[in-house]
Structure 1
Amino acid sequence: MSAALTVVGLGSGDADQLTLGIIKKMKHAATLYVRTLDHPVLNDLQQEGLEMTSFDAIYESKSSFPEVYEEIASQLIEAARTGAVGTEIVYAVPGHPMVAEASVRLLKERCPQQGISLRIMGGESFLDEAFIRLGFDPIEGFQLLDASSLNPELVQPQLHTLIGQVYDVFTASDVKLCLMEVYPDDYPVYVGHALGVQGQEVIHKVPLHELDRTPGYGNLSLIYVPKNTDDTLRRRSFARLHEIVNILRSPGGCPWDQEQTHQSIRKNLIEETYEVIETIDEDDPDHMKEELGDLLLQIMLHSQMEEEIGTFNVYDVIEGLNDKLIFRHPHVFGDNQAEDANEALQNWEQMKAEEKKRKGQDVQKASVLDGIPRDLPALMKGYKLQKKAAKVGFDWDNVEGVFAKIEEELSELKEAVQQGHDAEARKLELGDVLFATANVARFIDTDPEEALAATNRKFVARFQFIEDRLREQGKTPADSSVDEMEQFWQQAKKAGL
């Protein structure tokens, strides 16, 4: 058996708002604990001779708020566990015990496990005063956020937003930077200090960029961001993108978008992918941003088509991806270890195999070459096929064996051409040469697609150099000799093209 533990709320700061029942509880407690003495009500109660023990010293000894709340909960549970049976320990917290009180949440979780009787008595929260003093109705849409765990994804501009736990100017600065990801820099926000406390209440209206230049932050401070239904504030949200694509495909939307099917825009997905690759090669971030948007649109359209027939939606796609990323990175989200990229890749492959088992696929019957997309560009596909085969030992000992294979295949190609073999035979021999050549890439740690792409770019630059020089002479490649063009080609090489 142990002492009972009762948690009471001290309200928003005005002693007149305390209930008679809460005052009696505090006066008759075997021991009265308070989370902090930094609360206006406690000054009045101390003047009346009420003795209390605060946890303020824990804030100084711990490096983070979670550690503070853990220690407070532990000390209260120990005090109740060792207390006399039939007595009552009271723990008083600012505001309402169930609003933004992490220590109370911990007590609710642990007291039943320790056999400790826990009772919670409400008090006026800072929300009550905020609704009155800031003048908004929460029924219009409202969210309460914690400054210590704020991130842009939580912020919804279409809702009235209160942000609590803004203890100091450093926290206010973090809040400002987060909100500026969503709102314009000059968006009007309100800073409230000691709302409802006579003689102490202060409310500032400031542009967002001045949020951390406003004085007075402390335990009774909050930030209020008024709701705004302007679509421009939702432009950065994924939900708005989903909404727009749905509108385009819906009756009354865009006739072209309405007519499309998976097959009709299949080629668009491929084209947009290559346009993204082009921006990567060009090292053009602005263009890349645009092209990544175009690629994302293709994903949204395909997902929207499936949503319309009820198979899945884009959020199911995201859920599946999140689950896969977590499952395949046990060295990040689990207990496995990965000291380098190779070990991380091994973990990835092991978890892929585990996924197949869980899906009921017979791993024993699976091919080593499974998992390579059918429609990959041929050079890339050949490279991947060779990499998979090499993993199980089907490989040359060194690159010299590959060079010998290239010479063999090149000799067979020459023979097929010189002896007039049919087109199909020549095509197969040429494929053998390309396949063998791609195999060199693994031994020199080079992607063959990237290598050929670089050569293509080099060829384009040099040939355009030839065209420019010929144009200066009033000529074109069509009316120039090979020798003339070769001369300019060598100039292009010397110029570093």
Structure 2
Amino acid sequence: MPASNHQNPRRHYKCCAAVLCLGCALARPAPACITPRVLIAGLGPGDPEHLTKGVWSQLCNCQRLYARFAKHPVLESLPASVTLTTFDQYYEEADTFEGLYSNISDTILELAKEHGEVVYAVPGDPCVGETTTKMIRQRSADEGVRVEVLPGVSFVEPSLAALGVDMLPRLAVGDAYELTGFQSLPFECSTPLLISQVDDQISANALKLVLMSTYEAEHEVALVHSAGVQGTAQVEWLPLQNIDRSKSIGITTSLFVPASSGGSFTDLRDRMAGRRIKLGESWDDLTHAELARGLVRASEKVAKAAEQDSKESMNDLADALASVLIQAAAHMQLAEDDFDFSTGDVLKRASSLDPTLSNRTRRSSPASSVLIVQEPPDVKQLQLEGFDLVLTWQQQHLELRQSRFFVPATPWLLPAEWPRFLSKKPGLGFLRGSKSQTTGHRLRHRIWEAREQLQSVCEVPLEFLQGGGISRDERNIQFFNQFVLVIENSRHENYFSEKLLDALLTQSMPVYWGCPNIGDFFDVAGMVVLQSTDIDEVLSVCNQLCPGHYEAHQEALRQNSERAQRYSGDFGFRLQQAIEEALQGQTDIGQSGPGAWDDIASPKCKKDAEIANEIYPKEEVLKANPKAYKQVVTFATRMKWPLLYGSIGGALILLLKMISDVGEKAEDASPHLVVVPGGGLTAEGSPPLWVRRRLQEAASLYFAYVRSGQRAAVMMLSAGTPHKPMPRDPHSGFQVLEAEANARCLIRDFNVPPQDVFEESWSLDTIGNAYMLRTTHTDIAGWRRLTIISNQFHMPRIRAIFDKVFGLGPLSSRHY
């Protein structure tokens, strides 16, 4: 030790004390004030050689490593000392990808708060198409967790390397599941497009239909398989219309769509700019007045072709519309040259204007569109422009002149079931689902976690159940209790659901969180209303529950039960009634056009009895691949208005076609037939995920008809597909037919009575589905009210084929 330290013992003491304190600090656990941290690490496209050194170092040295799924080459090469936990089980339990990613994100944040720091590994780059990264970042501030991202190589770089393509000067990148939610491509075709997550033939088929709204069917595209995995990368060039027939599609497949010339507004603008340069001074002499004459002539051609209104005139109409676009582009180019306004200014104004088409007149009976808003805005944001009528409960929608107040709530319980729950026992019932996307979902989870605390303060016993895979009877056990915890998914004015209605119909007293103005609809004396999501408030409220409280409010419970009964009834009749009331004073919604709604005053929220005439049974959103929307087609051949409707997630769209006998209301005694086309089987001979969603919706619709007092049946279609071998039953060795496998699943898993389930097991494609259904079942049995349930990727084919087959005249006896 240096002499100077001996000469200053106090300084030596301070140094030793400092070292001692530092050692003690290192030995103690981290103080609670340290912010929890999540490190999101990118694993790259697959080849460990593409992994960055920084990510590899974190993976090898972290104490807790979590991965979205286990099947990634980098994870297989980790040292044995690394403890790896994956979320593969979450994939099996989740109903949708949104719910899956939400559950994973919540779990990661909870683990970070519990352990202080976790490393979460995801394929590719965390910031390129990784939904969990986005969710974790969005929720981290509220949870008090810090998030850091360790970048990796995404699918983009190795895909471009395999293709030999440079991403400059421009490249659009998209996600297959996101794009299938669009009716048309949200990118201009003049820009090359690289699309990830083309995981299987089903998603490829759905993607193909969207792309073919912009590109020609023969447009050459490339499927890129296993890019970034050494020695296995493959580029498969083929026409766009054939991408779903590739046998190499897998979880590492992406799609490259080269630019297509001449099909975008950008190409038209470039062409007009070139024309302006070519004309030179003669262009400078042009005026808007001179150009307008050409626009008038082009518009006259449009009107002439449109008046013919025939298939043969459609080519003329397309040519005329092209002339109108050219004239409009010329006006915009001239305005840009004179610095009056830009093309961008025009497009912005067009996007902000109401696209209502006024002064529409047609000789034939046209179609009119109706939007029924179902889900709250935090579940689904909707575009309301372009609809003739909007039936909605959302306050912000009621400012639209074409909107009408409409509550989309209906009970799940059948009228015949209500009396069996009237004999009550002291208790608090509760059903917790698996979802955690919304505020209500998360409150249910917190209540479940606090159930032991609740039981300690609650005088009545708890009967808490977990949802997901339980039977209808198990779901309804909660209504034998005097009290039921009812937590809506979201809290919005005028929004309540079957959760509340089922409790009221069975005269259980709801401990309710949800609609803030629920008193406008029901007597709050027969409810216990929660004002917040604070678990302490739930504990305080439950502390007051007792049999005496229930008995003291019998009259309010009875009145609420009567009011809730107004929301139970026939689907088609109530919907037709609501639309008729909205159309009072108009003889033809199609002829009057959307502009006619300007004469109708904005609606006000109606109370109690008035609401009884404006209710509509809720249809759940069905997702095929979990991000593809369900659609339903109804062919009701003897209704006043045959309905063609489809769900787009959170809403229903109806196209109402007026028919000649509008003054008649013919009663059809035939059962409602819910039809489920085949969609393939797994190797084990069971329905895949997207088909199970169809079956789930079929069961829901079947029970909706039955509880409204109508007869209903479900028809399974298809023997199989000729494109691949049929699976075999491991016990009998016989081939498994799709209709048979789907029927078994419907009966076993969704509790549809066997006597109401039918099979058509001859057809091998969609045309065969329609033909065999009609010739071997509907025409013979007299079924005339059909609902066909399928997925969005299948719906255009379903619509065209079933509309054609069921639009033919009666078949003669020689066909049978």
The equivalent residue for 1:262 is 288
What TM-score comes out, normalization by structure 2 length?
A: 0.38
Contact 2:42 2:121 in 1 (8 A): yes
Q: Is the 8 A contact 1:326 1:333 kept in 2?
A: no
Matched, 1:134 2:163: yes
The answer to whether structure 1 residue 70 and structure 2 residue 115 are counterparts is no
Structure 1 position 8, deviation (Å): 0.8
- Given the superposition, is the C-alpha separation of residues 338 and 57 from structure 1 closer, same or farther in structure 2, using an over 3 Å criterion? same
SS for the counterpart of 2:274 is helix
The 8 Å contact of residues 185 and 210 in structure 2, kept in 1 or not, is answered as no
1:172 match: secondary structure = helix
Q: Which residue of 2 aligns with 1:225?
A: 257
**CA apart distance, 1:104:** 0.7
Name the structure 2 match of 1:243: 270
Spell out, residue by residue over 1:195-227, the C-alpha distance to the aligned partner (whole angstroms, 9 max, x if none): 23235433333333332222232322212334x
Secondary structure of 1:139's counterpart equals: coil
Aligned to 2:39: 6
- 2:390 pairs, out of 320, 333, 338, with 338
- Quote how far apart the aligned CAs of 1:160 are: 4.5
Secondary structure, aligned partner of 1:311: coil
- Unaligned segments of structure 1, at least 5 residues: 351-382, 393-497
Across the two proteins, how many residue pairs are aligned to each other?
345
Q: Is the CA contact 1:32–1:53 (under 8 Å) kept in the aligned structure 2? A: yes
Q: After alignment, is 173-182 or 150-159 more displaced?
A: 150-159
Counterparts of 1:189 and 1:251 in 2: how far apart (Å)? Answer: 34
Matched, 1:278 2:304: yes
Kept in 2: contact 1:191–1:205 (CA 8 A): yes
Q: Residues 439-450 of structure 1: matches in 2 within 5 Å?
A: none
Within a 5 Å distance, the mapping from 1:291-306 to structure 2 comes to 291-306=320-335
Q: Is the 8 A contact 2:190 2:264 kept in 1?
A: no
Contact 1:168-1:217 at 8 Å conserved across structures: yes
Aligned to 1:287: 316
Counterpart position of 1:98: 127
Query: Secondary structure, in 3 states, of the residue corresponding to 1:144?
Result: strand
Instruction: Name 2:278's counterpart in structure 1.
Output: 252
Letter in 2 for 1:170: I
Q: Secondary structure at the match of 1:170?
A: helix
Residue 54 of structure 1: CA displacement? 1.6
Q: Residues 5-44 of structure 1: matches in 2 within 5 Å?
A: 5-44=38-77
Q: Which has the higher helix share?
A: 1
CA offset digits 1:378-436 (Å, max 9, x no partner): xxxxx9xxx99x999xxxxxxxxxxxxxxxxxxxxxxxxxxxxxxxxxxxxxxxxxxxx
In the alignment, is the contact (CA less than 8 A) between 1:186 and 1:208 conserved in 2?
Answer: yes
Write the letter of the residue equivalent to 1:118.
V
Following superposition, the deviation at residue 163 of structure 1 comes to 1.6
1:467 is matched with which residue?
none
The verdict on how the C-alpha distance between 1:334 and 1:123 changes in structure 2, with shifts beyond 3 A counting, is: same
| Secondary structure at 2:77 match in 1 | helix
Tell me: CA distance 1:318–1:107, structure 2 relative to 1, closer, same or farther (3 Å): same
Shift of 1:9: 1.3
In the alignment, the residues of structure 1 paired with residue 111 and residue 61 of structure 2 have an alpha-carbon distance, to the nearest angstrom, of 17
* Distance (whole Å) between structure 1 residues aligned to residue 50 and residue 600 of structure 2: 73
**1:285 offset after TM fit, Å?**
2.3
Distance verdict in 2 for CA 1:348–1:309, change over 3 Å: farther
Aligned partner of residue 323 in structure 2, secondary structure: helix
TM-aligned CA deviation for residue 55 of structure 1: 1.9
Q: Within 5 Å, give how 1:345-364 maps onto structure 2.
A: 347-348=400-401
CA contact (8 A) 1:141 1:158 kept: no
Alignment check: 8 A CA contact 1:38 1:219 kept: no
Q: For 1:459-490, what per-residue CA distance to the aligned partner results, in whole angstroms no more than 9, with x for missing partners?
A: xxxxxxxxxxxxxxxxxxxxxxxxxxxxxxxx
Does residue 117 (structure 1) correspond to residue 146 (structure 2)? The answer is: yes
Q: Using the alignment, how far apart are the partners of 1:55 and 1:326 within structure 2?
A: 46
Inter-CA distance 327–54: structure 2 relative to 1 (3 Å threshold): farther
Question: After superposition, where does 1:342-491 map in structure 2 within 5 Å?
Answer: 347-348=400-401
Cα distance, 1:96–1:258 mapped onto 2, change above 3 Å = same
Could you tell me which residue of structure 1 aligns to residue 449 of structure 2? none
Specify the alignment match of 1:54 in structure 2: 86
**1:309 Cα shift?**
1.4
Q: Give the 3-state SS of the residue equivalent to 1:240 in structure 2.
A: helix
| Matching residue's letter, 1:164 | S
Deviation of the 1:256 alpha carbon: 6.7
Q: Measure the CA separation in 2 of the matches of 1:290 and 1:314.
A: 22
Question: Kindly tell me: are residues 131 and 238 of structure 1, through their superposed partners in 2, closer, same or farther at Cα, counting changes over 3 Å?
Answer: closer
Amino acid paired to 1:64? T
Aligned amino acid, residue 173 of structure 2: L
* Structure 2 CA distance for partners of 1:291 and 1:254, relative to 1, 3 Å: farther
- Is the contact between residue 155 and residue 182 of structure 1 (CA under 8 Å) also seen in structure 2? no
Cα distance between partner residues in 2 of 1:112 and 1:79: 15
Q: Give, in angstroms, the shift of residue 91 of structure 1.
A: 0.4
- The CA deviation at 1:254 is 7.8
Q: Deviations over 1:29-58 (max 9, x none)?
A: 34321111121222233x735332222233
Following TM superposition, by how much is the alpha carbon of 1:313 offset from its aligned partner in structure 2, in angstroms?
A: 2.5
Q: Which secondary structure does the structure 2 equivalent of 1:7 belong to? A: strand
Query: Hey, what's the Cα distance between the residues in 2 that align with 1:294 and 1:114?
Result: 57
Question: Does the 8 Å contact 1:166/1:219 carry over to 2?
Answer: yes
What code does the residue aligned with 1:201 have?
A
Partner of 2:242: 210
Q: Distance in 1 between matches of 2:177 and 2:222?
A: 18
Q: Distance in 1 between matches of 2:285 and 2:240?
A: 44
What is the rounded CA distance, in whole Å, between the counterparts of 1:217 and 1:391 in structure 2? 54
Report the secondary structure of 2:69's partner residue: coil
**Cα distance in 2, alignment partners of residues 140 and 278 from structure 1:** 43
Aligned to 2:195: 163
Give the whole-Å Cα distance in 2 for the aligned partners of 1:140 and 1:287. Answer: 37
Q: Which residue of 1 aligns with 2:781?
A: none
**Partners of 2:398 and 2:307 in 1: CA distance:** 25
The equivalent position to 2:208 in structure 1, one of 155, 158, 176, is 176
CA RMSD, aligned part only? 4.0
State the secondary structure of the residue aligned to 1:325.
Answer: coil
Structure of larger gyration radius:
1
Q: Which amino acid aligns with 2:353?
A: K
TM-score w.r.t. length of structure 1: 0.59
Structure 1 position 154, deviation (Å): 4.3
SS at match of 1:118: strand
Cα distance in structure 2, aligned partners of 1:162 and 1:41: 24
Distance of 2:391 and 2:173 partners within structure 1? 41
SS at 1:110 equivalent: helix
Cα offset, 1:184, TM superposition: 4.3
- 2:230 counterpart residue number: 198
Please state how far the C-alpha of 1:23 moved relative to its aligned partner: 3.4
Q: Deviations over 1:64-91 (max 9, x none)?
A: 333322222122112222x14xx42110
Contact 2:177/2:197 (<8 A) preserved: yes
Letter of the structure 2 residue corresponding to residue 43 of structure 1: E
Structure 1 residues 287, 16: CA separation in 2 closer, same or farther (over 3 Å shift)?
A: closer
- Paired position in structure 2 for 1:446: none
- Closer/same/farther in 2, CA of residues 128 and 317 from structure 1, 3 Å limit: closer
